[in-house]
Amino acid sequence: MQSNNKSKPRHIIQILGLCTLVFLGGMALPSLTTAQSGSQEETYRQLGLFGDVFQRVRESYVDEVDDKELIEAAITGMLQSLDPHSSYLDTDNFNTMQMQTKGRFGGLGIEITVDKGMVKVVSPIDDTPAAKAGLQPEDYIIAVDDESIIGMALSDAVERLRGKVGSEVTVKIQRGQEEPFDVTVIRDFIKIKSVRSEIYDGIGYVRLTTFSEQTTPGLMAAVDDFFKTEGDALKGIVLDLRNNPGGLLTEAISVSDAFLEEGEIVSTRGRSASKGSHVYAKPGDIARGLPMVVLINSGSASASEIVAGALKDHKRAILLGTRSFGKGSVQSVVPVSNSAAIRLTTARYYTPSGVSIQAKGVAPDIEVALARIETLEGGITREEDLRGALDSSADSEEAGEGEDAAPAEKPDLSKIDFQLARALDLIRGVAVFGAMRSGS
């Protein structure tokens, strides 16, 4: 989407195009001109203005233009002038959106938005071409295959990024204050595994990469496995929502409900106060009251923020990381004629405490910036490192004799991911404190 200063002429033409629908659709003009309301009369005058401009474009533009394309451009321009998330979905885009909610679609595997006229990466999805190519949240895509997309409509940019599975696309990335650089990505079918899990030292770790129809069942299965494996020794759970761009509202609600015994999960408020909604949790906590830490960052958006906000407000979990993305608006997908649809922002999300997420995000309880843990050479000297130090026991020399070398293990994220390491330490501390209080 173009900035306000540069896009006015185009948007005037696009917005006026929608008005042509009124005339081409056969709406009776006499009834319009008899309207009593001043505001209505002004609206009808603007529609008449559009009719004049539309006809002039058809007759005098340097190249012949298709009426259908003009009208679709008008609809697109009108919706994009509202906010970055309202858009027109033609038949192909509508079908693609439906496939995305099922958890399988084609492309690069990134969630994008428009920010100040440029396409911005909300987050790459785990194990997709975009993630493997190293794209990061808050990257700006400024060109596709050496063609600038600055000022381009979001839907048009998406079309440029899509292509035949197996084909290459080169995107030019602007990252912070660095010089722009090219990244080549091979398009592929995107099969999202929305839930990943691991156990670190008696602590269950669950990563949700998106909110699709598989998310809640996968989460419940993972937590059930934690209890089967650890039993009463399970210390707590880390829920990782970093770089999760969101997804289905129903899944965000069910994931929140899974950990809450009662209380409001989320509310929505639109133009009409009477059409607002409130959603409440049902009894039952799959984590059985164990300590929880939720990891968030600037790539945590929409449905992720609903979950984080609900668990934070009910003091069910400690949020750790950095402030979330701040997408707190509700989009309703409304089918229209010709198998197309519009995605229209109809309400805003509010956390249980009544705070809007929109453009503010969810703040962590403990702010921890992204970093990697590295082992420094040299380091600390202890008693056992001193020359001539006494052994800890008489038979210490025999302790390591005859032992085979430990088999190679896969990389332990808890030893290189600083935010995750802090979350695990936090739960260990709570567990130790709880044991001390109970006298065990």
313 is an active site residue: yes
| Token code pair at residue 27 | 């709406």
| Single-letter residue type at 148 | S
End-to-end CA distance of the chain: 61
Q: Which of 86, 257, 327, 329 is catalytic?
A: 327
Instruction: Count other C-beta atoms under 10 Å from residue 421's C-beta.
Output: 18
Find out whether 188 and 201 touch, Cβ atoms under 8 Å.
no
The residue with tokens 């129903």 is: 250
Q: Which of 197, 300, 302, 324 is catalytic?
A: 302
Give the C-alpha separation, 412 to 405, whole Å.
18
327 is an active site residue: yes
Q: Which of 126, 240, 257, 313 is catalytic?
A: 313
Give the C-alpha separation, 370 to 123, whole Å.
15
392 is an active site residue: no
What residues are annotated to the active site?
A: 302, 313, 327
